[in-house]
Structure 1
Amino acid sequence: TPRLPKVFIAGLISQGRLFDKMRSLQTVLVLLVALYASTTTAKFNLEKLRANFFNVTGAKGSLYVQSLKYLQREPPVGNSVNRAGSARYTTETIEQKLDHFDASNTRTWQMRYMENDAYFKEGGPIFIYVGGEWTISPGRITNGHFVDLAKEHNGILFYTEHRYYGQSRPTSDITVENLEYLHVKQALADLAHFIKYQRENYPGLANSKVIMAGGSYSATMVVWFKHLYPELLTGGFASSAPLLAKVDFKEYKEVVGRALRELGSEQCYNRVQNGIATLETMLVDGRAAEVKAMMKICNNFDEENDLDVWTLFSSISNLFSGIVQYQTGNDVPDLCDYLLAQEDDVTAIAKFLLTYVGSGCIDLSYKDTLSYYMDSTYAMGASTYT
Structure 2
Amino acid sequence: MVRPPVPVDGQFFKSAVSGIYKQKVNHADPKDNSTFDQVYFTSDAHYKAGGPVFFMFGGEGAASSAWLTNSNMADNAKKYGALLVELEHRFYGESQPFAELTVDNLKHLNSEQALKDADEFIQYLLKQKSIENAKVIVFGGSYAGAMAAWFREKYPKTAAGAIASSGPVEAVVDFKDYLGVVSQSLGKECSDSIRYDRVAPSLGKECSDSIREASQQLEEDLKTTAGREELKKLFKLCDSLEGADTDDIHNFVGSLTNAVAVIVQYNRNIKDFCKLVTDPSGGARALDRYAKAQAAHHSGCINFNYKKMISAMKQTSKESPYVSSGTRQWTYQTCTEFGYYQTTSLKDSPFGHNRPIEFFTKRCTDIFGPQITAQTIEKAVEATNFYYGGRQPNVTNVVFPNGSL
TM-score with structure 1 setting the length: 0.75
- Whole-Å separation in 2 of the counterparts to 1:255 and 1:85: 36
Q: Does 1:355 align with 2:284?
A: no
2:89 corresponds, among 144, 162, 174, to 162
Shift in Å at residue 290 of structure 1?
2.5
> Percent identity among equivalent residues?
32
CA distance in 2, matches of 1:150, 1:160: 17
Checking the alignment, whether the CA contact within 8 Å between 1:74 and 1:132 is kept in structure 2 is: no
| Partner residue in 2 for 1:76 | 5
1:270 to 2:270 alignment: no
The separation in 1 between residues aligned to 2:234 and 2:243, in whole angstroms, is 14
Aligned-partner residue type, residue 154 of structure 2: L
Shift of 1:140: 0.8
1:317-336 equivalence runs, <5 A:
317-328=257-268, 331-336=269-274
Does the 8 Å contact 2:36/2:97 carry over to 1?
yes
Question: Which has the larger displacement, 140-149 or 349-358?
Answer: 349-358
Return the alpha-carbon distance in structure 2 between the equivalents of residues 112 and 262 of structure 1: 41
Q: What residue is the counterpart of 1:366 in the other structure?
A: 306
The answer (yes or no) to whether the contact 1:115–1:157 under 8 Å persists in 2 is: yes
1:341-365 Cα deviation digits (max 9, x unpaired): 2222110122233334555x43211
Indicate yes or no: 2:84 matched with 1:144.
no
Q: Tell me which of 122, 126, 149 is aligned to 1:223.
A: 149
- Which blocks of at least 5 consecutive residues in structure 1 are unaligned? 1-71
Higher-Rg structure is: 1
Superposed CA deviations along residues 143-193 of structure 1, whole A, max 9, x for unmatched, are 232122222222100011001111111111211111111111111110010
Aligned to 2:182: 256
Give the 5 Å matches for 1:92-171: 92-171=19-98
SS at match of 1:378: coil
Moved more, 244-253 or 290-299: 290-299
Report the counterpart of residue 55 of structure 1 in structure 2. none
CA contact (8 A) 1:124 1:208 kept: yes
Q: 1:294 aligns with which of 214, 219, 234?
A: 234
C-alpha separation in 2, matches of 1:233 and 1:302: 56
Alpha-carbon contact 1:378-1:384 (below 8 Å) kept: no
**1:150 and 1:355, CA in 2 relative to 1: closer, same or farther beyond 3 A?**
closer
Q: Distance in 1 between matches of 2:242 and 2:111?
A: 36
Task: Provide, for residues 83-123 of structure 1, a one-character-per-residue CA deviation record: whole Å limited to 9, x for no partner.
Answer: x9564110001111101011122110111010001222332
Who is 1:279 aligned against?
218
Q: Determine the C-alpha separation between the residues in 2 that align with 1:76 and 1:152.
A: 19
Letter in 1 for 2:219: E
Give the Cα–Cα distance (whole angstroms) in 2 for the partners of residues 269 and 192 of structure 1: 44
**Cα 1:274–1:79, aligned 2, differ >3 Å: closer, same or farther?**
farther
Query: How many angstroms does 1:301 deviate by?
Result: 4.3
1:295 shift after superposition = 2.3
The match for 2:202 is: none
Separation (CA, whole Å) in 1 of partners of 2:248 and 2:294: 16
Are 1:209 and 2:148 matched, yes or no? Answer: no
- The answer (yes or no) to whether the contact 1:256–1:324 under 8 Å persists in 2 is yes
Contact 2:7 2:13 in 1 (8 A): no
Q: 1:375 to 1:383 in 2, by over 3 A?
A: same
- 1:337 is matched with 275
- TM normalised by structure 2 equals 0.71
